[in-house]
Amino acid sequence: MNEFSNCTSHENSIEQVVLSSLEYSQILDIQQNIFELLLVGRNQQEVLERLCHLAESILPNSVASIMLLDPLSSLLSVVAAPSIPEIGHEALEELKPGVGGGSCGNAVYHNEAQFVQDAKTDERWSDIRHIAYDFNLCSCWSMPIRDLSNKATGSFALSSFEHRAPSEFHKRLLENCAFIVSMVLKRSEYETHIDENQKKLQILGTAIENASDGMVVTDSDNNIIEVNNAFMTTFGYTDKNDVIGHNPKIFASGKHNQEFYDQMWHSLEDKGHWSGEVWNKRSNGEIFPEWMSITAIVDEHHIINNYLAVFSDLSELRESQIKQVELAFYDQLTSLPNRQKIVADMDENKPNACALFNIDDFKEINDFFGIDAGDSILFQVGQWLIEMGFTPYRTGGDEFAILFYDYTTWTQLHHQITTLMDMLEEKIFIVSDQTFSVRMSIGVAMGMGKLLTRADIALHRAKEKKIPIALYEEDENIEEIYRTNIAMASSIRKALANQRIICHYQPIINLKTGNIDKYETLVRMIDENGEMIPPMVFLPIAKKTKVYSQITREVIYQACSLFSTRSESFSINLSDSDIRDPYTVQEIIKTIIKTETASRIVFEILESEGIENYEEVASFINQVKSLGAKISIDDFGTGYSNFENVLKLNVDYIKIDGSLIQGITANSRHNIIVDSIVDFAHKIGAQTVAEFVSDEAIYEAVKKHGIDHAQGYYTGKPASL
C-alpha cells in the first residue's frame, strides 16, 4: 500500500508548534480567500479543496481532509482531501463514528475537537489502527463540522507525518476551517431558494456576522457598507449606524504617517492585497494594535467593487510579549534590569567600565533575620543606587552592577566608587523597626569586551584579599586559569564516564615484622591521551565541583572490590565533604558490607579538615566502627592538632605528618614532637604510621622511635595491584 509520507519525528517525541505573527496572518488570509471564492460563485468542490490546500500550507508535512456524515447510514465518507491519494479515500470510506473511530470518528461521535498526538498508540484509533500504520500517520487533529442546530455533521482534519501537539493558533485554524465548511455546505441549500445575486450577499452576510475575527466591507470608494459583530465588540460600538457610511479613516490612531497609507494603497492597487500590523482607535479613544489583511474584490471585468478587511486584535499578544520581556530582562524582586539585560546593554552601548557590588555578609542577614528582611534590604539597596544617580542592575542574589560610559582612568573611577561607598557607610536601612548598615566588596573592569566576566573576577579577588575594591588586571592571567580549570573539570567528568579514574596502592610496612600488611589507596586519573594525571592536579578542582563525591565512591568501589579477594588491610582517604554527604556515606556502608571488607578497611580522615565538624565525623565513625572498620587520623602533628578530639573519636591509627618524618634525622625538635605523638598514641591504644619514609636513614630512625608502621618511596611506591 502506498504511503502518504514518512514520519520525521521520533515515535515518542512531540513537537509543540508555535506560529509567528506572519503565520497567524495567513489564517486570516484563508478566510478572505475562501470568502472571495464564494462571492464569485465558485462550486462547492473547488472551494473545499482550495480550503484544504490553504490549511496544508500553514502546517508543513500535513494533509487536510473533509469528511461528511451520511444521514441515512450514519457513516462518514471523504468529500475533499486533494493531497490524499485515492487509495486513502477508499480506506476511510464509510468510517463509523465512535470511541475507536480515529480522530474524525471521535470528533463527530463526541461533537468536540480531538487532538491525537500519536495515532499508532492512542486508544481513539483502536478500530482503524491499520490506517495509521499503512499510511504512516503520526498525529491527527480533527474538528467537528456543525449545522445550525450545533449538531456534528462531519469533520475537518489535519493529519501530520510528525508527532505534534496543536498550538492555540492551530486550534483556531481548525475552528475557522470547520466553520467555513459549514458555510459552504449551507450555500448549497440557499441555491435552491435564493436567486444568484441574493445568494452571494446571504452567504457573505452569514460568514461575516458569525466570524470570530473582525470584518469590514467597504464599497469601491472605501466607505463602510457592513461590519460584523466581532468588529463591533472590538471597537466598542453598539450601533452599526455609527460606522456604516463612514470612511475607515475615523479609526486612525495617528501613529502612522501618510507614507504608510500610501504604501498600503499601492499594494492594494498593484497586487489586490495588503496585510500588516496597524494601530487603530476604539470608540473610547483607546489605541490598540491589530493585524489586518485587506483584499480588493473584483468582478468578472476585474473592476474593484468592494474591499474586504479582516483583522485580529493583538492587544493581548502585545501585553504577553511585554510581560515576557519583563520576565526575561527584569528582576522580579527589585524591578531592576537583570544579568541578561546588562549583557544586552553592553553589546549595544559599549560601556568602558563595569563595577560589580556584592553585599558583605548578606547570608548572615538572611540566616538571622529571615529571607523577607534580606529581600527588603536588596530592594532598598537597589533604590538607593538609583537615588544616587546610577542605573543599577541586579546580576545575582546579593550582587548589583553599574556600567560607566565616561571614565577614562582608574583614578577617576576609583574616586567616585570610593565616595559612593563612603556615603553607603552613613546610610541606615530599616526593616521592621530594625536598622541595618550595609558594606560592599567591589570588582571593577575597564576597557572593551568581557567587562562583566572580568569585573566578576576582580570581585572574587577583592573577597579573597579582604579589600573593599579591586581592579581587573590583564597581566594576572586569571581568565586563562579559569579556562584551564573548566577544561580540567570537563576532563574529570569524561574520565569518570569512561572508567579512567583508577587506583594505585602504596604498601605500608609493619616495622616489627618487616612485612607488608596494609596498603593505602591513592587515586589517579588517565587523560584522553593515556597520560597519568597526579591527584594534586585534578583533586583540588574536583573539590570545587560536584564530581568529588563521585570520585570517592568510585575509589571505594574499586578498592573494596580488589581487597575482597585479598587478605591485607587497606586504607582510603575521606574528606570532610565525603563525610557530610549522606549518599556517599550510604554507598560506603553498602559497599563494605557487600564486599565483606569492613573488618580490613581503614578510613583516613584529614585532621585539619574533618575534625572541625566533630559531630558529623563522630556519627560516621560510630557507624563504620560498628561494622568492624578502623579509623586513622592523617597528617597529625603540624599546625592544628587537637589531642582532645582524637581521644573522643577513639581512633585506631595516627599517621604522623610527613614534614616531621622527613626532618627526623636532622632536627632534634622533630624528634621531640614525634616521641610525644608516639607516646600519646600508645597510651590511648592507637598505632602509629610514619609517612614520607624516603631513605634508609629515615627508615631506621622511625623504627628507633617505636613507630609501628612505615610508608614511603623507600618501602614501596604506589602502583597498580
The arithmetic mean of pLDDT across residues 435-460, rounded, is 90
Written out in words, the top-level CATH class of the domain with range 213-318 is alpha beta
Identify the burial level of 454 via C-beta atoms within 10 angstroms of its C-beta, where 0-12 means exposed, 13-18 middle and 19 or more buried. Answer: buried
Q: Decide yes or no: CATH 3.40.50.300 for domain 332-476.
A: no
Please state, as a whole number, how many other Cβ atoms lie within 10 Å of the Cβ of residue 146.
17
Give, in order, the Cα–Cα distances in Å from 353 to each of 6, 411, 454, 455, 469.
Answer: 55, 13, 10, 9, 14
Q: Which alpha helices (DSSP H) does 81-211 contain, by range?
A: 86-92, 102-110, 129-134, 168-191, 196-210
Query: Mean pLDDT across the stretch 179-186?
Result: 87
For residue 585, the surrounding DSSP H or E stretch is: helix 582-594
Are 93 and 208 a contacting pair, CB within 8 Å?
A: no
Can you point out the beta strands (E) in 499-629?
A: 501-510, 516-526, 532-533, 569-574, 601-606
**Band of residue 649 on the pLDDT scale cut at 50, 70, 90:** confident
CATH superfamily of 485-710: EAL domain (3.20.20.450)
Q: What is the four-CA torsion angle of 278, 279, 280, 286, rounded to 10 degrees?
A: 160
Average pLDDT over residues 681-693: 94
Instruction: Give the pLDDT of residue 3.
Output: 47
Q: What is the pLDDT of residue 11?
A: 41
Q: How confident is the model at residue 476 (pLDDT cuts 50, 70, 90)?
A: low
Q: Which residues are bridge partners to 532 per DSSP?
A: 526
CATH code 3.20.20.450 region(s) in the chain: 485-710
- Give CA angle at 657 (656, 662), nearest 5°: 105
Instruction: Tell me how far apart the alpha carbons of residues 152 and 187 are, in angstroms, rounded to a whole number.
Output: 17
* Backbone angles phi and psi of 629, in degrees to 5: -75, 165
- Which pLDDT tens digit goes with each residue over 581-597? 899 999 999 999 999 99
Q: Of 250-254, 566-570, 633-637, 684-688, which gets the smallest average pLDDT?
A: 633-637
- Cell numbers describing residue 651: 581512633
Decide which of 3.40.1160.10, 3.60.20.10, 3.30.450.40, 3.40.50.11240 is the CATH code for 15-191.
Answer: 3.30.450.40
CATH 3.30.70.270 placement within the chain:
332-476
Quick check: 126 and 118 in contact, CB under 8 A? no
Residue 351, C-alpha cell as written in the block: 560601556
Q: Up-side HSE of residue 66: CA atoms within 13 Å toward CB?
A: 28
Cross-strand pairs, 402: 355
User: Are the C-beta atoms of residues 704 and 693 closer than 8 Å to each other?
Assistant: no
Give the pLDDT confidence score for residue 429 in this predicted structure.
92
Q: Which amino acid is at 436?
A: F
What is the predicted pLDDT for the residue at 205?
63
Contacts of 521 (CB under 8 A, 6+ apart): 503, 504, 505, 555, 558, 559, 570, 571, 572, 573
What's the rounded Cα separation, in Å, for the pair 330 and 322?
A: 11
Q: Residue 577 — very low, low, confident or very high, per pLDDT cuts 50/70/90?
A: confident
The segment(s) of the chain belonging to CATH 3.30.450.40 are 15-191
Sequence ranges of the chain with CATH classification 3.30.450.20: 213-318
**Is pLDDT above 90 for 311?**
no
SS (H, E, C) 331-382: CCCCCCECHHHHHHHHHHHCCCEEEEEEECCHHHHHHHHCHHHHHHHHHHHH
Tell me the β-bridge partners of 435: 430
Based on the number of CB atoms within 10 Å of its own CB, is 712 exposed (0-12), middle (13-18) or buried (19 or more)?
A: buried
